[in-house]
Amino acid sequence: MTGPPDDETRDRIDDELPDGEPPEDAPDGATGDPVPVADGGFADESAEPHEPRIAFYGGKWASTVPIVFFIFWAIVQSGVLGIGDTNGLVIGALVGTILGMFLVRGDWKAYADTIFEGMTQRVAATAIVAWLWAGMFAETLQVGGFVGGLIFAADALNVGATTFPAAAFVLCGLLATGIGTGYGATVAFVTLFFPAGVLLGANPVLLFAAILSGAVFGDNLAPVSDTTIVSAVTQDADIGGVVASRFKYAILAAVPAFAAYLIMGSVLSGASLEGAAALRESATAPGLVHLISMGVVIATAVAGRHIVEAVSWGLIVAVAFNLAFGLSSVADILVFTTTSPTPAAALPFVRVGETAGVGGSLYSGAIGFFPLIVLTLLIVAMAQIMIRGGGFEAILEFLLDSVATTVRRAELTMVLGTAAINGMITINTAAEIAIAPYIARLGEKFNINGYRRANILDANTSALGYIFPWAGGVLVGYQVMVGPDGLGEQYGPEMVVNPIEVVPYVFHGWFLVIVFLLAAITGFGREYIPDRISEEVSRA
Amino acid sequence: MSRFEKFLAGWSLRSSTPDYEPGDVIEVMVTGAEGDRAIARIGDSTLRIEGAPGDAADTRIRVAVETWDETAHRGTGTYRETVGESAF
């Protein structure tokens, strides 16, 4: 996926360089014979999975300009100016992509083709599908009174503002582990648990971070998570064995993260929302029937059904409950509004209003993610430019050549390299697929077992996908807050969290990275290839 | 290995220089060459392998350990068979 065979495009671009010279950063293997090295050195680079197809003025590093510019834009917009507008990030990605084009040597067509190549990657489509389906599902539960039900349950069980973040971390972790998509779990929990917790008095920043931590836990551990599957398959390890072997790392990070949420929950104060007391008093139990709707999704996913099928079944059950128990009207779920009287207005999903349009939970649940979908497509395109231009390879070569001289340093390089690449490429599965060949080759140079390699790869992929403001997991949660009919519109600005504020509080993500840094230094959990052989690689 | 044992595997601080006993038959990835001998670097330990094919680099082979120096963490072994390839 990351290293397609040479094709005529590559030949054409290389041929078009000035004076017919090869790119100045041509791989070692292309300019000389591999050098045998005792004790398994790294001289034979001829099998490197990536070779530049786009030549840039300034060499391979110049191919990182679009994505580095975008990250800089995101930091300035989100961190310095405090503007969390996703559409603004889209413009940043567009400008960065255009800037990169001016650095291309020769024909710009290859650059343009790479944008399309990146946008059509399956990983981007997978994330988009998860967001759309989860958005419709969560919004339908929301109009069905699930938030009120959660507030009622929290009051009944004495789950107060201080313990709510810790509870959200555990429950979101369980949901994400069950359904295998941290993005989907983030959408559901930010739509449903987040407003309930904030209304109860929990700190919004901490609660959002706790939800993201739960998503990290699930993405990392779930057997059906796309990151788990990619990590296992690319490292020649069976999924069952991978999940069992990574449990120790996950739990060592999760326990202190849970404690940290309990402690910080009592330290950080909550937001003061106008009308919160009235909302709490009016909260009733019937919405809790949607625990069954969520249970249907989890059970169907755990039974091995595709996430699209699992969430679709949950959505059907949620709609049925809403209508059967009078939790919402048909129009709350789907409504066509016309401006002129029509006989069709007799239908439960047609209304006459001042402004024509379509609405309801299915509509607002899906449409809220449209800006993020556009941004995602642009980000994977920028990542593909970095891969095709050799910038990705340059980053890893720098790490390999400068630090990976012993097994301890090699593992540290694997941890930091995976974290760095995931810190740059917003969609973590895309980043994982890109770096997987390097992790395999580097690990094999020291006979590091496939389970260990898969665990290093996946843990740092999962963690970094939910920490920084431009990370897909953070953006998708933020979009729930600021999208059309989002939490900000429904409850007020206190229900919107600036993504950069959550960075230090995604405890499970940070602790998972720290656990692996310590594991690389101390040898905790390290296994070598001779220790045990992976069972047959299969999907589950 | 049972499922329970899989959960318990790796709960230890593993040395960066693993040692082996003469007579052990282990599966390793060939990581390089020294003259006409294949080399398998296992962590920071080194196993020199006699009789491996010339194109053994980056293949997974089964080796019978013949000698092992636990001080230098180096040993020699004999190639048995090729059992796999690099993951990439």
Model confidence pLDDT, tens digit, residues A262-287: 999 999 887 766 666 666 777 788 88
d(CA A342, CA A129): 35
Best mutation site among A234, A407, A438 for testing chain B: the one with the most B CBs within 10 Å?
A: A407
d(CA A334, CA A314): 17
Q: Which residues, other chains included, contact A120 with Cβ-Cβ below 8 Å and sequence gap of 6+? A: none
Query: CB pairs below 8 Å between A and B: how many?
Result: 121
- When CB atoms are compared, the residue of B6, B34, B60 closest to A245 is B6
Helix runs in chain B, H state only: 3-8
At B13, the pLDDT band (50, 70, 90 cuts) reads very high
Contact yes or no for A39 and B39 at CB 8 A: yes
Whether the predicted pLDDT of B73 surpasses 80: yes
Contact yes or no for B31 and A445 at CB 8 A: yes
CA nearest neighbour of A212 among A540, A509, A451, A539 = A509
Contact yes or no for A444 and B43 at CB 8 A: no
Residue B81: the pLDDT is 95
The amino acid at residue A166 is: A
CA nearest neighbour of A204 among A471, A478, A486, A490 = A478
A396-401 contacts at long range (C-beta below 8 A, 24 or more positions apart): A396/A421, A396/A435, A396/A438, A400/A42, A400/A438, A400/A442, A401/A42
d(CA A385, CA A67): 9
CB of A437 within 8 Å of a chain B CB? The answer is yes
d(CA A154, CA A165): 12
Best mutation site among B12, B14, B21, B60 for testing chain A: the one with the most A CBs within 10 Å?
A: B14
* DSSP state, residue A133: H
Q: What is the 3-state secondary structure (H, E, C) of A208-270?
A: HHHHHHHHHHHHHHCCCCHHHHHHHHHCCCCHHHHHHHHHHHHHHHHHHHHHHHHHHHHHCCC
Beta bridge partners of A108: none
Order of strands, sheet of A357-359, starting from the edge strand that comes earlier in the sequence: A350-352, A335-338, A357-359
- A300: three-class secondary structure by DSSP: helix
* DSSP state, residue A48: -
Closest-CA distance, B67 to chain A, in angstroms, reads 16
- A336: three-class secondary structure by DSSP: strand
- When CB atoms are compared, the residue of B1, B14, B88 closest to A526 is B14
CB of A447 within 8 Å of a chain B CB? The answer is yes
Copy the structure tokens of residue A403: 């630090």
Residue A84: the pLDDT is 65
Contact yes or no for A447 and B28 at CB 8 A: yes
* Contact (CB, 8 A) for A335 and A360: yes
Best mutation site among A438, A442, A528 for testing chain B: the one with the most B CBs within 10 Å?
A: A528
Contacts of A412 in chain B (CB under 8 A): none
* DSSP state, residue A104: B
Q: How far apart are the first and last CA of chain A?
A: 21
Beta bridge partners of A448: A528
**Residues in chain A with pLDDT values less than 70:** 1-52, 79, 82, 84, 272-279, 400, 426, 534-540
Contact yes or no for A528 and B42 at CB 8 A: yes
Residue A462: the pLDDT is 93
Contact yes or no for A524 and B58 at CB 8 A: no
Contact yes or no for A245 and B10 at CB 8 A: yes
Contact yes or no for A528 and B10 at CB 8 A: no
d(CA A400, CA A19): 32
* Contact (CB, 8 A) for B38 and B30: yes
* DSSP state, residue A6: P
At B88, the pLDDT band (50, 70, 90 cuts) reads low
Contact yes or no for A522 and B13 at CB 8 A: yes
Copy the structure tokens of residue B49: 């392998």
Contact yes or no for B43 and A447 at CB 8 A: yes
* Contact (CB, 8 A) for A521 and A408: yes
CB of A407 within 8 Å of a chain B CB? The answer is yes
Contact yes or no for A408 and B16 at CB 8 A: yes
* Contact (CB, 8 A) for B52 and B71: no
CB of A245 within 8 Å of a chain B CB? The answer is yes
- When CB atoms are compared, the residue of A49, A245, A407 closest to B9 is A245
- When CB atoms are compared, the residue of A406, A444, A452 closest to B87 is A444
**Closest residue, chain A, to B47 (C-alpha):** A39
d(CA A50, CA A475): 29
d(CA A382, CA A64): 8
* Contact (CB, 8 A) for A496 and A487: yes
Domains and CATH numbers, chain B: 24-85 (2.40.50.140)
Closest-CA distance, B35 to chain A, in angstroms, reads 8
At B51, the pLDDT band (50, 70, 90 cuts) reads very high
Residue B6: the pLDDT is 79
Residue A237: the pLDDT is 87
In 3-state terms, chain A is what percent helix, strand and coil (to 5)?
70, 5, 30
Contact yes or no for B87 and A244 at CB 8 A: no
Contact yes or no for A525 and B16 at CB 8 A: no
d(CA A194, CA A479): 13
d(CA A327, CA A336): 20
CB of A446 within 8 Å of a chain B CB? The answer is yes
d(CA B86, CA B28): 11
Contacts of B43 in chain A (CB under 8 A): 407, 446-448, 526, 528
The amino acid at residue A451 is: Y
Q: Which residues, other chains included, contact B44 with Cβ-Cβ below 8 Å and sequence gap of 6+? A: A406, A407, A446, B16, B17, B73
* Contact (CB, 8 A) for A181 and A136: no
Residues in B whose CB is inside 8 Å of some CB of A read 1, 3, 6-7, 9-16, 18, 20, 26-29, 31-34, 39-44, 46, 57-58, 60, 84, 86-88
For A390: left if phi > 0, alpha if psi spans -120 to 50, otherwise beta; the answer is: left
How far is the CA of A118 from the CAs of A20, A111, A318, B72, in angstroms?
28, 11, 36, 49
**Closest residue, chain B, to A442 (C-alpha):** B31
Residue A52: the pLDDT is 52
- Give DSSP secondary structure letters for A139-192: HHHHHTTHHHHHHHHHHHTT--TTTHHHHHHHHHHHHHHHHS-HHHHHHHHHHH
Predicted ipTM > 0.85: yes
Copy the structure tokens of residue B79: 């190639």
- When CB atoms are compared, the residue of B3, B6, B41 closest to A446 is B41
**Closest residue, chain A, to B46 (C-alpha):** A39
CA nearest neighbour of A461 among A501, A505, A512, A502 = A512
* Contact (CB, 8 A) for B65 and B74: no
**Closest residue, chain B, to A455 (C-alpha):** B10
Contacts of B10 in chain A (CB under 8 A): 245, 248, 451-452, 524-527
